[in-house]
Amino acid sequence: MEKRIRELQEKSGVLETTREEQAQINKAGNKFSENFYLSLSSQKAYKKHDPETIKEILNETLSEEGVGIDEILNFVESKVLPQGLNPASGNHFGYIPGGGLFSSAVGDYIAAVTNRYAGVFFASPGAVAMENRLIKWMSDMIGYPKGAGGYLASGGSMANLTAVHAAREEAGLKASDISNAVVYMSDQTHHCVDRALKICGLSECQKRHIPLDEKFRMKANELEKTIKKDKANGLIPWLIVASVGTTDMGAIDPLEEIGNIAHRQGIWYHVDAAYGGFFLLIREGKEKLKGISTADSVVLDPHKGLFLPYGSGALVVKNVDHLIKAHHFEANYMQDTTAERTLYSPADVSPELSKHFRALRLWFPLKLHGISAFRSALQEKLLLTRYAWNKLQQLEDIEVSPEPELTTFTFRWKPTLKSQNFDQINRKLHYSILEEGEIFLSTTQIKGKFWFRLTVLSVRTHLEEIDRFMTALHRNMEKVESEI
């Protein structure tokens, strides 16, 4: 047996790379990343997938013996990366871009190399303390008092799910209550909230979509009227969801008014600020987000407003005890973890037990660049959005939505060909833009009509990219018009 063990140890020894092998892999990886960043300006923002290439990836052989690092990286570069969206591009104006900061990637690399288990304090006190520190920083930014807390999630969907679960537990909802329980939101609320309700077994709750004003913000007076009516009818109002930066329009609901209503009515108040929350770092954002501190829970996404790679979300609650009550469990095999605990652990306040050292990807760039650099970037994106909005508003054949509150707005092309179906012609324009791939725009439906969405939140989007967008838009409009 001992002989066999040593044979297996020798054969599996390739998994523990030598210093020379690590240097070779690092050299190749660094060259790959350098070439990627250097070529970003010439890369397409979107490329339609090639079915043959997808088939090649699906059928790619995972052989018994390994292959060289150059072959591996060449496959990733030539087959995997060129297709679909390129969110690292400054010409990516669709959805809410993920920035992909290099410094954050380095933080993630160090986290993966050191492989700290960041789920419980006992396992990695430093990693848990760092996550607690970052949550405290966000809590202070929101304006929460002592006793607030939260955790770093994989994104807004998981953070919203965690908040919905905590709200349900705090409301004390039983299975028999669900059909009479009521959630208040708008038709602009992100669909991940509906998904969270479904995952939490709350899909049979009654949902009230509160009417919106002319800027697509929830009408607070209609909200309170609806709540009072539901209470009078014996229903159980238990959750209000407001938005800071709706996906379609970038609208901000009246946070303070809604907060006062939630307080008067005794309802959990949740704010989905995944997109817009980090605009609290600048003066204009603080003014627009006044009243966010009245919320019981807030979701923020560092992979949006702080330009981090995807997989970076956060949930912050006013009273961390609500999260602990909703998520904490004990198990015999976890008894060592309670031997020494001076901070709450991410595993105590979230669905996650296995936990990557996620804090380092946020802490590293904040420390390296300083917060003022992020403030400047956010202010720049606001101004770039207004610059683009003004440019489009000046065009006679472009219809634009109201002046944006953040960095998203919608527009549609209405050429003077009156016999044309505008939805159809805008779809043709979108197809033309996608085929070209120099810029990327996403689309949406508003009141049954087809609209383009322009979002400016890539760290690499500057004046040059906005001007490139305008040029590409004009070029494709001319092309489509010539084909009609």
pLDDT tens digits for the chain (484 residues)? Answer: 999 989 989 888 888 999 999 999 999 999 999 999 999 988 999 999 999 999 999 999 998 989 999 999 999 999 999 999 999 999 999 988 777 899 999 999 999 999 999 999 989 999 999 999 999 999 999 999 999 999 999 999 999 999 999 999 999 999 999 999 999 999 999 999 999 999 999 999 999 999 999 999 999 999 999 999 999 999 999 999 999 999 889 999 999 999 999 999 999 999 999 999 999 999 999 999 999 999 999 999 999 999 999 999 999 999 999 999 998 776 554 555 554 556 889 999 999 989 999 999 999 999 999 999 999 999 999 999 999 999 999 999 999 999 999 999 999 999 886 567 899 999 999 999 999 999 999 999 998 999 999 999 999 999 999 999 999 999 999 999 888 7
Angle formed at CA 452 by CA 414 and CA 430, multiple of 5 degrees: 80
Pair (307, 433) in one structural domain: no
Q: Has residue 68 been placed in a domain? A: yes
Pair (259, 165) in one structural domain: yes
Q: Has residue 93 been placed in a domain? A: no
Q: Which of 332, 354, 369 is the last residue of a domain?
A: 369
pLDDT at residue number 247 = 84
Number of Cβ within a 10 Å radius of residue 128: 29
Pair (395, 312) in one structural domain: no
Range of the domain at 64: 17-47+49-82
Pair (396, 348) in one structural domain: no
Q: Which of 311, 334, 369 is the last residue of a domain?
A: 369
Q: Has residue 330 been placed in a domain? A: yes
Q: Has residue 161 been placed in a domain? A: yes
Question: Which 3 state secondary structure label does DSSP give 278?
Answer: helix
**CA atoms of 388 and 58, how far apart (whole Å):** 41
Pair (31, 144) in one structural domain: no
Q: Which of 343, 369, 395 is the last residue of a domain?
A: 369
pLDDT at residue number 338 = 53
pLDDT at residue number 484 = 77
Domain CATH code at residue 234: 3.40.640.10
Return the exposure string of 30-61: e unless at least 16 CB atoms fall within 10 Å of the residue's CB, then b.
eebeeeeeeeeeebbbbbeeeeeeeeeeeeee
Domain CATH code at residue 475: 3.90.1150.10
- SS3 sequence, 196-263? HHHHCCCCCCEEEECCECCCCCECHHHHHHHHHHHHHCCCEEEEEEEEECCCCCCCECCHHHHHHHHH
Pair (70, 153) in one structural domain: no
Pair (147, 182) in one structural domain: yes
Pair (437, 345) in one structural domain: no
Q: Has residue 228 been placed in a domain? A: yes
300 alpha carbon, distance to own chain's centre: 8
Q: Has residue 187 been placed in a domain? A: yes
Name residue, tokens 């998994």.
15
pLDDT at residue number 275 = 96
Pair (364, 376) in one structural domain: no
**CA atoms of 176 and 374, how far apart (whole Å):** 48
Residue pair 454/442 in contact by the 8 Å Cβ criterion: no
Pair (144, 287) in one structural domain: yes
pLDDT at residue number 339 = 46
Report the candidate in 96, 97, 76 with the shortest Cα–Cα distance to residue 87. Answer: 97
- Total domain count for the chain? 3
DSSP category for residue 404 = P
Residue pair 407/457 in contact by the 8 Å Cβ criterion: yes
Q: Has residue 270 been placed in a domain? A: yes
pLDDT at residue number 333 = 46
Token reading at 382:
């606001």
Pair (307, 171) in one structural domain: yes
pLDDT at residue number 342 = 60
Pair (393, 286) in one structural domain: no
Q: Has residue 100 been placed in a domain? A: no
